[in-house]
Amino acid sequence: MNSTATDKVTLERGKYQGKSIPRKEDRRLLEGQGSFVDDVRRHAMGYVHFVRSPYAHARIVSIDVGPALELDDVYGTLTGDEVAIATDPFFQIASPPGANVKDYALAVGKVRYAGESVVAVVAATRELARDAADLVEVDYDPLPVLVDARKALDSETTVLHDDAGGNLSWEGVYEWGNLDEAFAEADHVVKIDELHFDRFNSTPLECDGALVEYHRGTEQWTIHTNNQFPGFAAIMMGPALRVGIDKLRYVTQDIGGGFGNKITTHPQLVALCLLSRKLKRPVQWTEWRTDFHQSMSHGNERWFHGVEVAVKADGTLLGFRCKALDDAGAFLRYEPLGGVIWAQVTPGLYRWKHVRVEFTQVMTNKAPVSPNRGYSRMQHLWLTERIIDIVASQLEIDPIEMRKLNYIKTDEMPYTTPNGCVYDSGDYERCLDIALDLVGADTIDARREEAAARGKLLGLGIGSTLDSGTNNFAQARLLNPELQFSGNNEVAMVKLDIFGEVVVTLGTTPQGQGHETTASQVVADTIGCTPDMVTVRPGHDSYWNSHAGFSGTYASQFAVTGLSAVKGAAEDLADQMRRLAAAVLGTTPDGIVLAEGMATRADDPEAALPFMALGAIINANNAGLPPETEDITLNARYVYRPPFDIPDMETKYGNLTLTYATQIHACVVEVDPETGEVEIVDYAAVDDCGTRINPQIVEGQVHGATAHAIGAALWETFKYDEDGQLMTANFYDYHVPHALDMPPIKTGSIESPSPFTPLGTKGMGEGGGGGIHCVGSAIQSALAGAGGALVTDSHNPSERVWSMLRDPQASRSLVHVDPAS
Partner 1 sequence: MSTEPVHDKLIAVQVNGETYEMHVEARRLLVHFLRDDCLLTGTHVGCDTGNCGACTVLVDGKAVKSCMMLAVQAEGAAIETVEGIASEDGELDTLQKSFAEKHALQCGYCTPGILMSAKYLLDRNPHPSEEDVRKAIQGNICRCTGYVNIVEAILDAADKAET
Partner 2 sequence: MNVSGTRKFSSDPQSVWDVLNDPTELATFLPGVDTFEIQDERNWTATVKIPLGLGGLKLKFRFEKIEERPNERAALKANGKGVGAVISVETSFDLAPDGDGTSMDWAADVQVLGQIGGMGQRVLQPIVNQQVEQVLAALDERVQARAAG
Q: Environment class of residue 429 by beta-carbon count within 10 Å: exposed (0-12), middle (13-18) or buried (19+)?
A: middle
| Interaction of residue 259 with partner 1, rule CB under 8 A | yes
End-to-end CA distance of the chain: 43
Q: Considering beta carbons, is residue 54 or 787 the nearer one to partner 2?
A: 54
| Interaction of residue 687 with partner 1, rule CB under 8 A | no
| Helical (H) or strand (E) element with 77 | strand 74-79
Q: Which does 514 bind (CB under 5 to 8 A by kind): partner 1, partner 2, none?
A: partner 1
Piece in contact with partner 2 (CB under 8 A), picked from 51-59, 367-375, 406-414, 702-710 = 51-59
Sequence-distant (6+) residues with CB within 8 A of 30 are none
Q: Which does 1 bind (CB under 5 to 8 A by kind): partner 1, partner 2, none?
A: partner 1
In this structure, is the dihedral angle defined by the CA atoms of residues 591, 593, 598 and 601, taken in order, positive or negative?
negative
The residue from 11, 14, 19, 36 that contacts partner 1 (CB under 8 A) is 36
| Interaction of residue 54 with partner 2, rule CB under 8 A | yes
Strands across the sheet containing 74-79: 74-79, 117-123, 46-52, 283-286, 209-215, 220-225, 248-252, 540-541
Which of 418, 108, 181, 150 lies closest to 303, judged by CA?
150
- Region 243-302 residues binding partner 2, contact defined as CB under 8 A: 290, 294
The residue from 213, 541, 699, 766 that contacts partner 1 (CB under 8 A) is 699
Q: How far apart are CA 688 and CA 752, in angstroms?
A: 6
Smallest distance from partner 2 to CB 129, Å: 14
Beta strands 540-541 and 248-252, pairing class: antiparallel
Number of residues that bind partner 2 (CB under 8 A): 17
> Pattern 713-732, binding to partner 2, x per CB under 8 A?
--------x-x-xxx-xx--
Q: Which does 726 bind (CB under 5 to 8 A by kind): partner 1, partner 2, none?
A: partner 2
Beta strands 745-749 and 678-688, pairing class: parallel
Sequence-distant (6+) residues with CB within 8 A of 433 are none
The residue from 38, 171, 467, 571 that contacts partner 1 (CB under 8 A) is 38
Piece in contact with partner 1 (CB under 8 A), picked from 110-118, 510-518, 671-679, 796-804 = 510-518
Which of 665, 774, 799 lies closest to 385, judged by CA?
774
Piece in contact with partner 1 (CB under 8 A), picked from 250-258, 330-338, 462-470, 608-616 = 250-258
The residue from 22, 142, 455, 586 that contacts partner 1 (CB under 8 A) is 22
Q: Cis before residue 414, ω within 30 degrees of 0?
A: yes
The residue from 14, 34, 589, 610 that contacts partner 1 (CB under 8 A) is 34
Q: Which does 114 bind (CB under 5 to 8 A by kind): partner 1, partner 2, none?
A: partner 2
| Interaction of residue 707 with partner 1, rule CB under 8 A | yes
Q: How far apart are CA 113 and CA 147, in angstroms?
A: 10
In order, the DSSP letters of 93-106 are SSPTTGGG----SS
Q: Residue 639: what are its φ and ψ, rounded to 5°?
A: -110, 115
| Interaction of residue 735 with partner 2, rule CB under 8 A | no
Q: Which does 410 bind (CB under 5 to 8 A by kind): partner 2, partner 1, none?
A: none
Q: Is residue 483 a contact partner of residue 527, using CB atoms and an 8 Å limit?
A: no
User: Helices 563-585 and 515-527 meet at what angle, rounded to 10?
Assistant: 30
The residue from 198, 206, 335, 525 that contacts partner 1 (CB under 8 A) is 206
H helical segments located in 280-398: 289-295, 338-341, 377-395
| Interaction of residue 530 with partner 1, rule CB under 8 A | no
| Interaction of residue 26 with partner 1, rule CB under 8 A | yes
The single-letter DSSP state of residue 441 is G
| Interaction of residue 738 with partner 1, rule CB under 8 A | yes
| Interaction of residue 134 with partner 2, rule CB under 8 A | yes
Q: Which does 798 bind (CB under 5 to 8 A by kind): partner 1, partner 2, none?
A: none
Q: Which residues contact partner 1 (rule: CB under 8 A)?
A: 1, 20, 22-23, 25-27, 29-34, 36, 38-39, 125-127, 202-207, 254-257, 259, 286, 288-290, 511-514, 696-697, 699-701, 703-704, 706-708, 730-732, 736-740, 742, 745
Give residues in contact with partner 2 (CB under 8 A): 54-56, 114, 134, 140, 142, 290, 294, 721, 723, 725-727, 729-730, 733
